Structure 1
Amino acid sequence: MAHAPHPLATLEQIIKTPSSEDGVPTEVEADLRVAGCMLIQEAGVMLNLPQNTMATAQVIFHRFFYVSSMYSFGINDISISALFLSTKLCETPIRLRDLINTYLFLFARIQHLLNQPSYKSFKVNPMLSSASGSSTGWQLGDGQRLQQLQSQSIKGKEKQQDPIWDNFNFEVPGFHDEIFWEWKDVITANEMQILKRLGFNMQVDLPYSHMINYLKILDLVFEDEAAQMCWSILNDMLLTPIYAIHPPHTLACASILLTTRLLRIPLPEDWYILFDTTYDDIWSCCGYVMHVYNDWGIEKPKGAITSFKLEGNDEEQKVKENRWRRAWVLAQSRKAVRRWLEERRKV
């Protein structure tokens, strides 16, 4: 039987990832995957890139860390390189300078949050707002938005809504600033590493079209909120590694199962057999998504009738914020991961 064009991680790669063999705990590796994919999604929204370009970049990002270690490659470096490579694969080209400026802006915003006192709670989580496909209002496109930020002529909606952004400031680097050339070299080098380590197999089959076809077969395409919620859940799945573990038709079925549970829509018995998948596989995918909702505090999909608790008390919220801080710090570079591992071994 011929191999599927959409490559998946092997069982050995899933059980023993390169990062885990270098001492990175499974929980930390999962958090860093989320942080890297959030950067891709946020930057893609700001640059007005289509969803398939952002999704392709996130899938490539996950695949890369099944063949490479976070001890050897920085999360931010691979994130921006995967997105730039994806714009070429999906034929949605962007200026490299716009991409670098966007990431620098996101890094500055993250650093602003990290500089907040530890006792001060985050009022908003700006890195999560676009995970379900919604826009944050920071639209860049041709870079005009960054010029507006530089001149301070207008303020973004997030600044107006939340005092946590009161002292935030970002200046666009000059055309000949060294930081641009440094990031250009980083992107070029890591782009070649991605291609080499993945064997130039950049085939990515996304589950969105499968999901729409399955909804039509199940006569759910006209159910209120069903299609949109399935789409949002598939976007949220990109924060997890399941796109590199399960084939697209399984992911489509998982989004339908979770959507119908949240909307309390009954499904025929053993409906998933029709789409050549198993209940255990699709339920496992749903578990990945629910863990992300719970651990990172992402809002439940819009329109959900069934309620589930995503926000806890102050202590639980503090635990989540510390988790965000740790992920953002370790995502800065491979040196940050190495220092953290060395300090952890000394304890």
Structure 2
Amino acid sequence: MAHAPHPLATLDQIIKSPSSIDGIPKEVEDDLRTTGCMLIQEAGVMLGLPQDTIATAQVIFQRFYYVSSLYSFGVNDISISSLFLSTKLCETPIRLRDLINTYLFLLARIQYLLNLPPDTRLISNKISNGSSWQASVGQSPKGKAKDQYPIWNEFRFEVPGFHDGVFWEWKDVITASEMQILKRLGFNMQVDLPYSHMINYLKILDLVFEDQVAQMCWSILNDMLLTSMYVIHPPHTLACASILLATRLLRIPLPSEWYILFDAEYDDMWTCCCHVMKLYSDWGLDKLQGSDSSGLADSDERQKGKENRWRRAWVLAQSKKAVRRWLEEREKAIA
């Protein structure tokens, strides 16, 4: 089966990424990749951008860190530049000032959480894991849900003035980072997303009108963008992986070796599924809406460990200087 050209990371890049060569542990690298993609997703939604534009930006962001190190390029700088570049590639232009103001708002919320006392619980045990993930990464809820999050009562944000210097600083950062992305990726911005593949495969399997299946597959593909799977596996494999995971969670049987029809490998599909489930576990999501699976609530100790992990990720995502400082302190502690 022929597929459109879609650049993927090489085996050497996967085994020895530039960040790992600079001494950054894989767990920390994965967390920083996730935080960058979360920022892109949040900013894209707030700006009303199509999902294709947001997904393209996340794929470009993930690709960049297979040719560059987190030690040399900050997550916040590359994420906002990837999103701005994606709006041009997908012909969904936005005002640069609107993009910068949106990022400033998101970063202000994250900084607000980081400035809270260390013993402050970011998550209420009475709230489901899906909502807790939103609160932890800086998404302040609205409406009735706001009463469940008293942690946001003191948060305030003021939009910078039209002639404020912060706009020109971010404009310079975006321009420089955008050129670095294009140069280091060889100007190859081809991105083939798996959404259309997934819909076509569901039609062939006669599942497109099955209750909840298509929506869950779509959600899984969106969540998979927070991992590096889009850069490691081709789109048709990702589409098959979303179908496999969705049907397993909904307990819907599939024909034996159905994936062969779509030129997908069984092990590759399960690798993608495992990364998505690990993402749910590490970031507080253990149940997809509409699935029959039910997870047990985390213990206080495990939840505290997650919160500390989130805090570390958001601190290191602020700049390359934060990553370098953390590495220096880590080396001193080991020595």
**For the superposition of Structure 1 and Structure 2, which TM-score range results when normalised by the shorter chain?**
over 0.9
Corresponding residue to 2:317 among 331, 335, 341:
331
Question: Contact 1:38–1:128 at 8 Å: present in 2 too?
Answer: no
Q: What is the deviation of 1:86?
A: 0.3
Mapping 1:23-172, distance limit 5 Å: 23-123=23-123, 128-129=133-134, 159-172=146-159
> What is the Cα deviation at residue 3 of structure 1?
9.5
- Relative to structure 1, the CA distance from residue 128 to residue 288 in structure 2 (aligned partners, 3 Å threshold; closer, same or farther) is same
Quick one: distance in 2 between partners of 1:274 and 1:325? Answer: 44
For 1:16 and 1:9, how far apart are their aligned partners in 2? 11
Aligned to 2:302: 316
Spell out, residue by residue over 1:145-164, the C-alpha distance to the aligned partner (whole angstroms, 9 max, x if none): xxxxxxxxxx8766444100
Q: Normalising to structure 2: TM-score of the pair?
A: 0.93
Residue 243, structure 1, aligned to residue 230, structure 2: yes
The one-letter amino acid of 2:318's match is: Q
Q: Which residue is 2:267 aligned to?
A: 280
Measured in 2, the distance between the counterparts of 1:313 and 1:284 equals 27
Instruction: Give the Cα separation in 2 of the matches to 1:92 and 1:216.
Output: 29
The amino acid across from 1:329 in the alignment is: V
SS in 2 for 1:186: helix
Amino acid at match of 1:248: P
**1:210: Cα distance to partner?**
0.3
Q: 1:157 to 1:337 in 2, by over 3 A?
A: farther
Residues 158, 48 of structure 1: alpha-carbon distance in 2 compared, 3 angstrom cutoff: farther
Give me the whole-angstrom Cα distance separating, in 2, the residues matched to 1:189 and 1:128. Answer: 32
Classify the secondary structure of the residue corresponding to 1:180: helix
- Asked if 1:291 is matched to 2:309, the reply is no
Moved more, 117-126 or 176-185: 117-126
Q: Structure 2 counterpart of 1:97, which letter?
A: R
1:89-108 CA deviation, whole Å, 9 max, x = no partner? 00110000000000000011
SS of the residue 2:57 aligns to: helix
Sequence identity percentage: 76
Task: Give the Å deviation of 1:299.
Answer: 5.0
Aligned residue for 2:208?
Answer: 221
1:206-252 alpha-carbon deviations (Å, 9 max, x no partner): 00000000000111111110000000000000000000000000000
Match of residue 19 from structure 1: 19
Residue 182 of structure 2 is aligned to residue 192 of structure 1: no
- Give, in whole Å, the separation in 2 of the partners of 1:324 and 1:137: 16
TM-superposed deviation, 1:306: 2.4
CA RMSD, 1 decimal: 2.0
Matched, 1:306 2:293: yes
- Whether the 8 Å contact between 2:197 and 2:236 is mirrored in structure 1 is yes
The separation in 2 between residues aligned to 1:318 and 1:80, in whole angstroms, is 29
Give 2:94's aligned amino acid: I
Which whole-Å CA distance do the structure 2 matches of 1:237 and 1:269 have between them? 25
2:163 equivalent among 162, 176, 193: 176
User: In the TM superposition, what whole-angstrom CA distance separates every residue of 1:281-306 from its partner, at most 9, and x where no partner exists?
Assistant: 00000000011000011252210012
Give ranges in structure 1 of 5+ residues lacking alignment. 131-135, 139-154
Matched letter for residue 110 of structure 1? I
CA contact (8 A) 1:158 1:165 kept: no
Equivalent of 1:202, from 189, 199, 219?
Answer: 189
> What TM-score, normalized to structure 1?
0.90
Deviation at 1:308, TM superposition (A): 3.5
Q: 1:89 to 1:330 in 2, by over 3 A?
A: same
Q: Which runs of 5+ in 2 are unaligned?
A: 125-129
Displacement of 1:116 after TM fit?
1.4
